Amino acid sequence: MLWLCILPPPLDAAALQRLGWWAQQWSGDISVRAAEAEAAATRSDPSLRHDVLWLEIGASLALFGGLAALLARIEAALGELDYPFRHGMAPTPAAALLRARAGCSAPCADTAALQRSWRAFRLQWLALPEATLAALAASGLTRIDQVLALPSDALARRFGPATTRALRRLQGLEAEPLPRLGLPTRYHSRCEFAAEVHDTQALRFPLQRLLGEFQGYLRARDRAVQDFTLCLEHAHHAETRLQVGTAQPERAAARLLALLALQLEKLALPEGVRALRVEARRFTAPSVLQQDLFDAAVEQQQQWHETCDRLRAALGPGALSLPRLQADHRPERAYRYAPVADAAGSDHAPVAAPRPCMLLPEPQPLAAPPQLLAGPERIESGWWSGEDATRDYFAACDARGSRLWVYFDRQRGGWYLHGLWS
């Protein structure tokens, strides 16, 4: 076991939990403890109360290429989140916390090194109750190695069983009861600003942090998103909601940021922004295609998806669609245009009767019967659909040579233009 303990700046409970989810990209065993809980547990000096994040990284070392490589990654990622933080590392959670508090970030990877290190740490870093610390100091005990040299039953008698328990946990002789952080099924994160932000450009930086956390969460769950929402909260106005949809599962913060940037560029803020929120409900399995760089077809598909995402972000989700066939003999119902993310294929066979390449959105009444070229093809709409109609369709042409698809409405009478043989 090797524990990395991170002391972030003071956070609210939700933010601390999000930091925990973010950290799950490095380790499956994460615990967080809020400053209040810490204080309640120890009744210690307020200056020693911290929000604490623990990661068990011993099991992750091989995966990430060793301690130095893993630490470099974690430090770089923390730097991206722009949290000033302190950290410590030791074989026990308590010792890792002790080292983090003392500002000693040098790794201490094994128990032997840990035993040799006690001399360097003063007792006050142990966050014992203030009264206990005072009593220990009165006995001339200020360093950890000094108390550890004493017989534990004598210590327990004089300074209470809590003191010996803390020391046993410090050395790993007793397990530290840390609740392991689970994962939520919905994602929600929020970032509130000290002052209202009026320029969408200025939102980019906090957004980068929010999406960085989101990416960590997605990696930890081995999940990706195809749609999520960014909410911009205002003081008086209803919040501005930006929907982001991608054609294929996505989790790279940089790509999500690029898509949001396209929308933010065009956005006129009704009012300053007080807070940002990222919300996601639906998750999908990540796309394995992203890894395969050597297949031209895969690369082409990737490019197609990226272009679609860019178009959709700039033009709105309704602007893009894919044609599909539907099994229906009525010309208006024989197709639909589906959203790009809709993966369902169209496996219906098209009708055998000739159809024109272009269809008018609504049939248009014709003033005079056109010159008919071929037909009729009788199409009856179902009485069940409530629009009982019988139409005789013809290929026709007009005076200038345009070829038309027209029908005669047998119920109401009259000729209609429905398509063009473009």
Partner 1 sequence: MNRSALLEQLAERCRHGLRAAGAAPRYQPTGFTALDALLPGGGWPLGALNEIMPAQPGIGELSLLLPALIALARSGRYLALIAPPWLPYPPALAQRGLPLAQLLLVQPTTPRDALWATEQTLRCPAFGAVLAWPAQVEERSLRRLQLAAEAGGSAGWLYRPTHAAEASSPAALRLQLEALPAGALQVRIRKVRGGAPGAVVVHPAAAA
* Edge-to-edge strands, sheet with 3-7: 30-33, 52-56, 3-7, 86-90
Q: How many Å is the Cα radius of gyration of the chain?
A: 33
Residue position matching structure tokens 């392991």: 180
- Residue in 37, 242, 267, 322 binding partner 1, rule: CB under 8 A: 322
Q: How far is the CB of 316 from partner 1 (least distance, A)?
A: 8
Given a contact cutoff of 8 angstroms between Cβ atoms, the answer to whether 387 and 410 are in contact is: no
Number of residues that bind partner 1 (CB under 8 A): 52
Q: Which two tokens stand for residue 371?
A: 């010159």
Q: Which of 265, 200, 186, 268 is nearest to 228 (CA)?
A: 186
Q: Does 364 bind partner 1 (CB under 8 A)?
A: no
Q: Which DSSP category does 122 fall into?
A: B
Q: Does 320 bind partner 1 (CB under 8 A)?
A: yes
Q: How far is the CB of 224 from partner 1 (least distance, A)?
A: 21
Q: How far is the CB of 242 from partner 1 (least distance, A)?
A: 18
Q: Does 243 bind partner 1 (CB under 8 A)?
A: no
Q: Does 319 bind partner 1 (CB under 8 A)?
A: yes
Q: Does 360 bind partner 1 (CB under 8 A)?
A: yes
Q: Does 185 bind partner 1 (CB under 8 A)?
A: no
3-state class (DSSP) for residue 300: helix
Q: Which of 343, 192, 179 is nearest to 273 (CA)?
A: 192
3-state class (DSSP) for residue 139: coil
Contact positions with partner 1 (CB under 8 A) in 325-354: 325, 331, 334-335, 337, 340, 345-346, 350-352, 354
Q: How far is the CB of 296 from partner 1 (least distance, A)?
A: 8
Kindly list the distances between the CA atom of residue 92 and the CA atoms of 3, 42, 74, 173, 197, in Å, as whole numbers in the listed order: 6, 18, 19, 9, 43
Q: Which two tokens stand for residue 391?
A: 């139409």
Q: Does 314 bind partner 1 (CB under 8 A)?
A: yes
Q: How far is the CB of 327 from partner 1 (least distance, A)?
A: 11
CB atoms within 10 A of CB 297: 9
- Residue in 252, 359, 372, 389 binding partner 1, rule: CB under 8 A: 359
Q: Could you give the count of Cα atoms lying within 13 Å of 230 in the half-sphere of its Cβ?
A: 27
Please give the Cα distance from 59 to 42 (Å, whole number).
29
Give 86 or 330: the residue with its C-beta nearer to partner 1: 330
Q: Does 323 bind partner 1 (CB under 8 A)?
A: yes
- Residue in 315, 339, 365, 411 binding partner 1, rule: CB under 8 A: 315
Q: Does 374 bind partner 1 (CB under 8 A)?
A: yes
DSSP secondary structure of 152-192:
HHHHHHHH-HHHHHHHHHHHTSS----PPP---SSEEEEEE
Q: How far is the CB of 249 from partner 1 (least distance, A)?
A: 18
Q: How far is the CB of 346 from partner 1 (least distance, A)?
A: 6
Q: Does 264 bind partner 1 (CB under 8 A)?
A: no
Stretch that binds partner 1, among 81-89, 117-125, 276-284, 313-321 (CB under 8 A): 313-321
Given a contact cutoff of 8 angstroms between Cβ atoms, the answer to whether 19 and 9 are in contact is: no
Q: Does 411 bind partner 1 (CB under 8 A)?
A: no
Residue type, 120: A
Q: Are strands 415-420 and 389-397 parallel, antiparallel or unpaired?
A: unpaired
Please give the Cα distance from 357 to 360 (Å, whole number).
10
Q: How far is the CB of 371 from partner 1 (least distance, A)?
A: 11
Q: Does 205 bind partner 1 (CB under 8 A)?
A: no
Give 193 or 335: the residue with its C-beta nearer to partner 1: 335
Q: How far is the CB of 59 from partner 1 (least distance, A)?
A: 30
Q: What residues line the site for partner 1 (CB under 8 A)? A: 294, 297, 300-301, 303-304, 306-308, 310-311, 314-316, 318-325, 331, 334-335, 337, 340, 345-346, 350-352, 354-361, 373-374, 395, 400-404, 419-422
